[in-house]
Structure formats: structure tokens, C-alpha cells
Structure 1
Amino acid sequence: MEALPRETVVDVLEGRLREDILAGRHPAGSYLPPERRLADGYGVTRTTLKHAFGRLVQAGLLETRHGVGTRVRDFARLGGADLLPMLVRHSPDWFGEIFEVRRDVGALIAERAAARATRAQQGELRELLDAVRTAESADAVQLADVEVHRALARATGNRVYVLLTNTLFNAYLPVRAALVGPFTEPAAAHARLAPVVAAVEAGDGDAARRAAEAYLTATERIMLDGPA
């Protein structure tokens, strides 16, 4: 069995600071209190605080200027999609907007893949689709489904689509257990996704877009509302 990760004081402090920033208790553009006062307030050492600051600077939530202080970055205006995993963990309200982008981008990716996929990529899609049907657990079905979508993005020949797809999955995968509904039955999951792959193999962009829209709409409904 894999050992469970142990949280350090830095991990806990980073999480507390992150939640305080995302909840607006430290507003965008504001400077945090002096390090000594902030460390005392959280009951940690200044060294621990500096380590947590470093992580949050790297995450795009803080910016530190020597001799000036540490300021909360206006991540809503300046941040990138790499913040999505953090924002989803903070608030499930982000899922509605993620699903909207998932529908729009997913349909476009399927259309582009139909126009550009090589024979080797079509063969890879067939193999990955078969893995959805033969997966032995809901989690395995879900992960196999993810690989089909990664392959669709690669088949577009556009690396930005690949990165966008990866970003959306980075936000989704850590909480996937709560969204497992469409993947509890391998045969049904395979049947929902098969028309997308078939249209890409046929090189029919319009059909691929329609199939992807139908797939994404159906799976979103099941994820959010449960089976009809």
C-alpha cells in the first residue's frame, strides 16, 4: 500500500494563507502585515512563513519586493489557467465555468482532430477507446476516458490545445471521485464516447463536433445531477 503523505507545518500554513487570499480576507493589491506580526498571528516561525510565501509566489498568488513587502497579486486579472486546480479546491462554483469551457474547447478539438488526425493517431484513439470498455473499475474507466481526450488534443497538431486539455484535467482529476457518475459502467462510457472517435476516424469534422457536444453535455449532466 502507498503511504499517505504527511502534512508539514509549511503545508498547513500555505493552505491557510491560500484560503485567506482566495476568500478575500487578504484582498488583491493589499500588502500582507509585517512578517513578524503575521508569523505570530498564525503561530509559526518567520522561517516557516517565508517557505509558505515562496510557494504562494510560485503559485501566482503573492509577489514579494525586497524592502517593500509582500503583496497579494491580482490573480483574477493577471493569473493564468494554471490557477484552476487551486481555485476548484477552494470553491466548487468554478465547475460550472470549467464545464462551459470543456464543452466549447472539446467540440472544437474533436472537429480539428477529424481534419488532421494521422492514421497512426486514429489507431491510437481506437486502442484508447477500447481501454475504456475493458477498464475494471470506475476510476480506471475515468482515467482511460481522460487519455482518449488527451489523444484527441494531440491529433489536432496544435500544442496549445494539448496544454489547454491538460490544464482542464489538472483541475478535474484531484476531485474526480465526486464526478465519477458517467464512468461507473464501462460499456455505457464506451458507447457515449465511441461516436466521437468514429467521426474523427471518418474525417468528418461536423459529425465529430456534434458527437463531442453530445458526449460532453451528457457526461456533464450526469456529473452534476446524477443519472436521469
Structure 2
Amino acid sequence: MHRHTDAGVARPSGVIGMTPRPALPDTANIATWQLMALRRALGTLVAVGAAASAEADHKREMHRRLDTLGRARGDEAVQWATLRVLLLLARVTRIDGLLSLTLNVDEACTPLYHATSAFFRNGTVARDRLKPLADAVRANDPGAARRAADDYFSATEALMLAGLA
């Protein structure tokens, strides 16, 4: 991932339907920005699809996984519980490729998670960050899910990028 450092590459102004992000500092790794953009776009796509497809059993499982996340302590436990919520969202879409992509993007983000783990140690805080997204999915509201996903992925992206600074 670190072999693609090129501060001279122009950053797109944003992705359709998502809030544009400020440019990273010139010293930032463009591959890191690309990974964050992919994570944000995929997360939004998954959230909207999950909100359109969630059924009662998915909503009950979402509630259980959020409870587990809220009780998690320590960076690995919190990251694992968060991933389980995000994987459930991908599974709810019934599009196998989204589940695979979610796993692959999470794997690609692992070095970032380790480098910024201090921001992700408290399960209650992590649950509270993710709850508006889960609530929108449980309400079967794709528009609210899109907004909540953008907020969630923007907030966690900002934490990770701040941790790398």
C-alpha cells in the first residue's frame, strides 16, 4: 500500500451522493485516501441496500450485534464486533459480491486499524457511532441510511486519518 505515494495526484472532489472531503495534506499517501474513498462508497452502497432489504430477523440480529459491540472492550474486540455489524449489513443486501468486498476492504484497512487502535477501544462509543446507521436500516429507510452511512464513515475516516498524522 505504501508504494503508491504521489502527492501530485489530483484528488476527485467527491463521489456522487456523498459529502465531498477536503484534500489530504500533500504528504499523505494517495493509496490511503483511495482506500478510505472505497470504504466510504462501499459502506454507503451496503447501507442503502440493507435498508431496502432488512426483514424482522435481520433487525433482531442487528440489535444483538449492536448490544455485543456496546459491551466490547479493547481494540481487537471492538473492531471485530464492528465488523460483525457491517458484515450483517452486507449480508442483508443479498448480494454476495458486497459481502466479499466488505471483507476485502476490511482486510485492506487492517494496518490502519492497528495504527489508530486507540480511537477504537471503547465499544459503547463505537456502538453509538454506528447506531444511527443501524437504526436507519432497521427503519427500512434508504435515504436515512445513506446519510447515516456518510456520517459514520466520515467520522471513522477522520479518526483514522488523525491517528496517522
The two structures have a TM-score, normalised by structure 2, of: 0.77
Over the aligned positions, Cα root-mean-square deviation in angstroms equals 2.0
2:66 corresponds to which residue? 129
Is 1:217 aligned to 2:118, yes or no? Answer: no
Q: 1:125 to 1:182 in 2, by over 3 A?
A: farther
> Shift of the alpha carbon at 1:174?
5.0
Q: Distance in 2 between matches of 1:200 and 1:175?
A: 27
Whether the aligned pair in 2 keeps the contact of 1:125 and 1:148 (CA below 8 Å) is yes
Q: Distance in 2 between matches of 1:156 and 1:131?
A: 22
Letter in 1 for 2:162: D
Q: Distance in 1 between matches of 2:133 and 2:117?
A: 20
Structure 1: any 5+ residue segments left out of the alignment? 1-18, 24-91
Q: Distance in 1 between matches of 2:119 and 2:134?
A: 17
Q: What is the CA deviation profile of residues 148-176 of structure 1, one whole-angstrom value per residue up to 9, with x for unaligned ones? A: 11110001111111111111012122552
2:102 corresponds to which residue? 165
Q: What is the CA deviation profile of residues 117-173 of structure 1, one whole-angstrom value per residue up to 9, with x for unaligned ones? A: 121111111111111110121221111101111110001111111111111012122
Instruction: Count how many residue pairs are aligned between Structure 1 and Structure 2.
Output: 139
2:140 corresponds to which residue? 203
Q: Distance in 2 between matches of 1:130 and 1:182?
A: 19
Q: Distance in 1 between matches of 2:55 and 2:119?
A: 29
Q: Distance in 2 between matches of 1:102 and 1:152?
A: 14
Structure 2: any 5+ residue segments left out of the alignment? 5-28
The two structures have a TM-score, normalised by structure 1, of: 0.57
Letter in 2 for 1:220: E
Is 1:111 aligned to 2:48, yes or no? Answer: yes
- Alignment match of 1:143 (pick from 80, 93, 105): 80
The secondary structure found in structure 1 opposite 2:148 is helix
The secondary structure found in structure 1 opposite 2:43 is helix
Is 1:98 aligned to 2:42, yes or no? Answer: no
Structure number with larger C-alpha Rg = 1
Q: 1:210 to 1:175 in 2, by over 3 A?
A: closer
Whether the aligned pair in 2 keeps the contact of 1:179 and 1:223 (CA below 8 Å) is yes
1:7 corresponds to which residue? none
2:57 corresponds to which residue? 120
Identity %: 36
Q: What is the CA deviation profile of residues 36-60 of structure 1, one whole-angstrom value per residue up to 9, with x for unaligned ones? A: xxxxxxxxxxxxxxxxxxxxxxxxx
Q: Distance in 2 between matches of 1:130 and 1:109?
A: 21
2:93 corresponds to which residue? 156
Q: 1:119 to 1:182 in 2, by over 3 A?
A: farther
Q: Distance in 2 between matches of 1:200 and 1:182?
A: 25
Q: Distance in 2 between matches of 1:155 and 1:182?
A: 28
Q: Distance in 2 between matches of 1:107 and 1:181?
A: 25
Letter in 1 for 2:145: A
Q: What is the CA deviation profile of residues 191-228 of structure 1, one whole-angstrom value per residue up to 9, with x for unaligned ones? A: 110011111000011001100110000000011114xx
Moved over 3 A (4+): none
Q: What is the CA deviation profile of residues 68-126 of structure 1, one whole-angstrom value per residue up to 9, with x for unaligned ones? A: xxxxxxxxxxxxxxxxxxxxxxxx64221011011111111101101101211111111
Q: Distance in 2 between matches of 1:182 and 1:196?
A: 19
Q: Distance in 2 between matches of 1:225 and 1:157?
A: 34
